[in-house]
Chain A
Amino acid sequence: MSQAQAEIYDLGYQHYDGPRGGRMQAVKSLWVNSFRTTIGLGRGARAKILPVLMSLFVIAPPAVFLVIAAVSPVAAQVSHADFYTATSILLLLFSAIIAPELLIPDRRNGVTTLYLVRPLTAFDYVIARWSAFLTVALLVTLFGQVLVLIANSLAAEQAREFLQENWLDIPRFILAGVIITVFVTTIPMAVAAFTDRRAYAAAFVIAAFVITTPMSGLLTTEWCERSMTFAVESGEIVEELGPEECRRITGDYAKWFVLLDVGQAPTHLGDMLFDDDTPDDASILVAELPPAVPIVWYGLLVVGPGALLLWRYRSMSI
């Protein structure tokens, strides 16, 4: 009877002579890693909770609306601008918490050094991380807008006619989506470049947006009052209400102070893109400004932190 014999060969160290990508391959792999990190892939269950919740919160309302529109012939329309107004705060929260995750652990664990000794510049590193997060945020946002569009067309009497009449909404909501997601990606990442604690970065970003909203509101809200006069007529005291007088504490400058609410900077541009039938107070005030002002303000809020983010990584000593 023959006995089967097996031998294990140790091939020793094998040199790699396969294909090698260059700098683009390095950026691409970092981008893929960042994309996976953002949505919690390859990480524990905890890392998946927030991306899943955020996606649900953003997508669920238009999904519900879509179902209603599909089954009910009298469903109302939802504007794309309103969808952004409703979801921008969720996007902001998501970004404030998740975006720092892409930069801070690398710096705290010293992994940034290992990236920068590979064919990557500091600029490549930041762009790969930034664009991966932007892609996730944009995909979620645009998916929600597509649901809104489908729901609106189903709610209309003639879906085809509705789409023919409103096809311009598609480039509008794409552009508005880019404007919002660039904003909510850049600012938290810039903050994350200057602290080694994710909680501090998230708290700073949320606080900055939370604080500026009431500040701006206080300075721009219109306060109205009516004078009351008393007269004696036929021996009786008669109260007479005067005309309502409304004013803002910042007077004619209120339209400028609206810009203090930094979280609304992308929304102002969105308002310029969509014809909103029911603008809120802030939108009415911003509309009084020259159109270049909200654009420049948004640009400053994105380019400034973006430049700081790049400067921080270019000047980092490793």
Chain B
Amino acid sequence: MNQPLLEAHNLTKHYGQTIALHDVDMHVREGITGLLGPNGAGKSTAMKLFLGLLQPTAGSATVLGEKPYENITIRMRLGYMPEHDCLPDFMTASEFLSHMAQVSGIPAKHARTRAADMLRHVGLDEERYRHIKEYSTGMKQRVKLAQALVHDPVLVLLDEPTAGLDPGGREEMLQLVRRTGQEFGINIMLSSHLMGDVESTCDRIIVIEGGAIIEQGDVSEFTQETETFYIDVDDRRAEVIAALEARGIKARISGGAVVVRLHRDEQLDDIRDALVAAEARLRRLAPSRGELSDIFRRSTG
């Protein structure tokens, strides 16, 4: 599929005087895309615009080639898992999912089968006839995910899916999200303010802050090897730095390691020679990898 799943052109949304999104351009293709940003950055507003719940103040938002605000039937192919509580406590998970599948356009007899399948996939097979009010927070999050997937959407929007979960529950939810994207083949846009969630789950990332996009690209682009090398030696760091600088390589100490920036592969030989000259014992020599947190460091100067 060459057409982007989600597309925004100059997308702008104002709430009175407050600017929630300003002039946003984005293209989301297949796979798992993370929408990363601090609270209040405009992530939920962007999702609501793509769901057609809000009308853009300016610009356009399209989903699967359609404008969702004008054509709500496109929502039959979309799933949404909100951040807040959204489950009826008096129903069983099975009843609720079957009902939600029907409201999404699936006939009753198929809806019951889909509901049972989805509850099995999210690990609630045994508990499907229990009332939702008896579920733990983690189980409720899984029901929320299941209702977003029960009608087999092309794309599912997950708003902070790990909110309120303990570390164990969070990892389980992220695994489910990965499985949904990788095994079920359902495209995902996941919004989160937690870099770890996005880094461990997503293929692509869109970083949003203050209603504007500050970076977008593959996660691997942000975490690839850099020109910075870490040299871990026993205790002769000062000597190593002197020997490196004698060979024209600027070095500094950071986090207990000697850090250098290399511009040519031949400089690795200079490092070897410097270590020999400084009579230092090498423990580790490794290139550093970029981190998503660098994006925010760069954007805030």
Contacts and interface: CB of A to CB of B under 8 A. Distances in A.
A121 B106 CA distance: 18
B246 to A, nearest CB: 61
A26 B103 contact: yes
Interface in B77-104: 78, 80, 82, 84-91, 95, 99-100, 102-104
B76 A22 contact: yes
Nearest to B80: A117
Size class of the contact patch on chain A: 20 to 34
Given A21-B105, A25-B102, A119-B73, 15 more contacts: A13-B121, A16-B152, A22-B76, A25-B107, A26-B102, A26-B104, A109-B85, A109-B86, A109-B88, A110-B84, A113-B82, A117-B75, A117-B80, A119-B75, A121-B72
A14 B75 CA distance: 20
A147 to B, nearest CB: 33
A33 B85 contact: no
Contacts of A30: 103
B110 A16 contact: yes
A6 B73 CA distance: 44
A235 B75 CA distance: 99
B151 interface: yes
A16 B151 contact: yes
A19 B53 CA distance: 26
B100 A114 contact: yes
A20 B106 contact: yes
Contacts of B104: 26, 118-119
Interface in A3-20: 12-16, 18-20
Nearest to B180: A13
B90 A23 contact: no
A275 interface: no
Interface of A: 12-16, 18-23, 25-26, 29-30, 33, 42-44, 105-106, 109-111, 113-121, 318
B100 A318 contact: no
Contact of A18 (B95, B110, B147): B110
A117 B51 contact: yes
Contacts of A106: 88
Contact of A25 (B84, B86, B99, B105): B105
Contacts of B91: 42
A27 to B, nearest CB: 9
Nearest to B100: A114
21 contacts: A13-B183, A13-B184, A19-B110, A22-B76, A25-B102, A25-B105, A26-B105, A33-B99, A105-B88, A109-B85, A109-B88, A109-B89, A114-B86, A114-B147, A116-B53, A117-B78, A118-B75, A118-B76, A118-B104, A120-B103, A318-B48
B72 A119 contact: yes
A172 B104 CA distance: 40
Contact of B85 (A13, A23, A110, A118): A110
Contact of B82 (A43, A44, A114): A114
Contacts of A105: 88, 90
Which of B53, B75, B103, B105 is the most central at the interface, judged by chain A CB atoms within 10 Å of its CB?
Answer: B103
Nearest to A47: B90
Contacts of B110: 16, 18-19
A93 B110 CA distance: 38
A18 B114 CA distance: 11
